[in-house]
């Protein structure tokens, strides 16, 4: 039986393209981005403090980095967030000018896995890249819009998403940094929208936001659908787990692509939501930075 989980609004931030939520445990705060709004947001659930930083560009994700720092991907580069501004770049991604960074994660060894995509959402020029603080290189997953990736707690498995292909892949990366050893994990029916960002919890279950699908889903390791979070807006982008016990799921959403009439019917679109998770999440490792 599929469980139904109720979400609650925690910040009506009205993001154009809310994405990249990340719980930063050392701050006890959730950070996320508005890609098309050029903003980075910080939410402190203990105090309900809300901060927004105009950073420009197209910030697409944020992850913790060593030395108490935060790293943000934007357009074709990786930057540090310092005093509410992007500094750097730490590294640049070699890709077509019409591409940009999208989602990302950090593996247990501190490597950054970042997806790229065609900003016009047409050309087959997106891919997954890995940055190990020395080299930044593509490792597969070619598609128009990459999403995820998410990596298992032992670092041996990666899940990545071909959004327009409505497919989530699972690959064995235990022996090599490549997406060659892969299989289809789940496909999303056309009526249910497109799979967006993915996250793994402590039970190895995968959570995915559905763009145009009005929901977030939780899948078991064998691909069985376990739970649905029915959302009050269509474009659900990604889940991150936070709070002192990592039992609060946070969901970013988007207003992008919605007509005035559609926005009238879903006025909370672009908001940040939360729900009580059936299992804790996994803390995001810190990314290694160049020496």
Q: Which residues are catalytic?
A: 196
Give the integer Cα–Cα distance in Å for 134 and 188: 36
DSSP 152: -
Ramachandran assignment for 262, one of left (phi > 0), alpha (psi -120 to 50 degrees), beta (any other): alpha
DSSP 95: -
Three-state SS at 175: coil
- CA–chain centroid gap for 37, Å, is 16
DSSP 41: E
Give the integer Cα–Cα distance in Å for 245 and 199: 16
CB 255 within 8 A of CB 234: no
CB 267 within 8 A of CB 44: no
């Amino acid at each position: 039986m599929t469980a139904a989980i109720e979400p609650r609004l925690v910040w009506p931030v009205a993001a154009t393209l809310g994405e990249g939520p990340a719980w930063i445990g050392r701050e006890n705060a959730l950070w996320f981005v508005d890609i098309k709004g050029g903003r980075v947001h910080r939410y402190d659930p203990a105090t309900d403090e809300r901060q927004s930083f105009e950073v420009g560009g197209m910030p697409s994700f944020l992850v913790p980095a060593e030395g108490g720092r935060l790293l943000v991907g934007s357009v074709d580069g990786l930057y540090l967030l310092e005093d509410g501004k992007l500094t750097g770049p730490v590294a640049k991604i070699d890709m077509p000018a019409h591409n940009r960074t999208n989602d990302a994660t950090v593996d247990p060894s501190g490597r950054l896995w970042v997806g790229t995509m065609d900003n016009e959402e047409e050309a087959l020029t997106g891919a997954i890249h890995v940055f190990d603080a020395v080299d930044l290189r593509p490792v597969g997953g070619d598609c128009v819009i990459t999403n995820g990736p998410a990596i298992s707690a032992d670092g041996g498995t990666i899940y990545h998403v071909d959004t327009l292909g409505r497919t989530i892949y699972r690959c064995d990366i235990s022996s090599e940094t490549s997406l060659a050893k892969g299989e289809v994990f789940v496909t999303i029916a056309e009526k249910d929208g497109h799979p967006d960002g993915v996250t793994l919890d402590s039970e190895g279950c995968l959570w995915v936001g559905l763009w145009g699908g009005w929901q977030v889903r939780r899948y078991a390791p064998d691909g069985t659908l376990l739970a649905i979070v029915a959302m009050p807006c269509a474009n659900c982008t990604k889940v991150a787990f936070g709070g002192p016990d990592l039992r609060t799921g946070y969901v970013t959403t988007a207003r992008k692509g919605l007509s005035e009439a559609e926005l009238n019917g879903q006025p909370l679109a672009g908001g940040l939501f939360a729900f009580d998770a059936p299992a804790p999440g996994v803390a995001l490792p810190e990314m290694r930075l160049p020496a």
